[in-house]
């Protein structure tokens, strides 16, 4: 990674904030079904952190920023990408390493089991790899302190085009911190939230086909 210090955004219920600021984030267990396995999750973009307040914290659509603000808080975290080891699964190098992990998995199960695992997608593969680590007493993905991955998000309808120079729009980059020590600082985000909330509300409530 080129960045030395990374800013991650984490949205949580308002009642969790004081404890997090005092004691730090709790690690989410792998059995929660998170896409990148066990760790502490952040978005690299404040937009997606704000949206998570709706779909992950409140868990219902709301057009009222004050209601959102009464129930949610966005925390920023400074993540040390220089001192701690990271991997970006969406990069060519990171994905090559992930393929090596999958090859190791392939060597430990039957062909039928492997095909079944692969067909369930990357999130499930990572869950299986975490279980494999316990069996083999060997670190695979967990040897990295920070794991990045980028996911497509259908926010705006893109003009159908495959021309050179087209760029990927509205991708969602997630950060999974597997070593709490990589988080240097935690603070509360206050600026620009209402503006971003209104953009999220607009995008979730109207047809944005271009």
- Render pLDDT for 111-144 as a digit per residue (tens, 0 to 9): 999 999 999 999 999 999 999 999 999 999 999 9
Q: HSE of 128 in the Cβ direction (CA atoms, 13 Å)?
A: 22
Does residue 158 or residue 144 have the better pLDDT?
144
φ, ψ for residue 188 (rounded to 5)?
-90, 135
Q: pLDDT at position 54, please? A: 95
Do 139 and 149 lie in one domain? The reply is no
**pLDDT beyond 80 at 208:** no
Do 38 and 76 lie in one domain? The reply is yes
3-state DSSP call for residue 207? Answer: coil
Do 208 and 187 lie in one domain? The reply is yes
**pLDDT beyond 70 at 2:** no
Do 175 and 210 lie in one domain? The reply is yes
**pLDDT beyond 80 at 209:** no
Helix, strand and coil content of the chain, in percent to the nearest 5, comes to 45, 20, 35
Do 19 and 120 lie in one domain? The reply is no
Q: pLDDT at position 160, please? A: 63
Strands of the chain, DSSP E = 5-13, 40-43, 72-80, 86-88, 146-151, 172-177, 183-188
Do 80 and 159 lie in one domain? The reply is yes
Contact residues for 46 (Cβ-Cβ < 8 A; gap 6+): 9, 74, 189, 192, 193, 196
Q: pLDDT at position 28, please? A: 85
Point out the domain boundary residue: 96, 116, 143: 143
Q: Residue 181 and residue 178: Cα distance in Å, rounded?
A: 9
How many domains would you assign to the chain?
2
Range of the structural domain that residue 138 is part of: 88-143
Do 155 and 136 lie in one domain? The reply is no
Question: For the purposes of burial, counting CB atoms within 10 Å of the CB of 138, is it exposed (0-12), middle (13-18) or buried (19 or more)?
Answer: exposed
pTM beyond cutoff 0.85: yes
């Amino acid at each position: 990674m080129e960045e030395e210090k990374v800013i991650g955004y984490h949205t949580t219920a308002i009642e969790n904030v004081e404890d997090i600021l005092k004691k730090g984030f709790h690690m989410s267990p792998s059995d929660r079904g998170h896409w990148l396995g066990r760790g502490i999750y952040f978005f690299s973009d404040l937009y997606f952190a704000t949206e998570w307040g709706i779909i992950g914290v409140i868990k219902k659509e709301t057009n009222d920023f004050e209601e959102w603000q009464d129930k949610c808080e966005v925390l920023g975290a400074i993540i040390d990408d220089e001192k701690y080891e990271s991997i970006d699964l969406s990069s060519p190098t990171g994905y090559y390493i992930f393929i090596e992990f999958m090859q190791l998995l392939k060597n430990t199960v039957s062909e039928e089991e492997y095909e079944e695992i692969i067909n369930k997608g990357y999130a499930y593969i990572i869950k299986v790899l975490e279980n494999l680590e316990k069996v083999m007493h060997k670190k695979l993905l967990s040897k990295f302190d920070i794991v990045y991955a980028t996911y497509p998000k259908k926010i705006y309808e893109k003009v159908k085009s495959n021309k050179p120079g087209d760029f990927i729009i509205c991708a969602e980059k997630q950060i999974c911190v597997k070593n709490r020590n990589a988080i240097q600082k935690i603070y509360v985000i206050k600026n620009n939230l209402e503006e971003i909330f209104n953009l999220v509300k607009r995008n979730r409530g109207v047809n944005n086909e271009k």
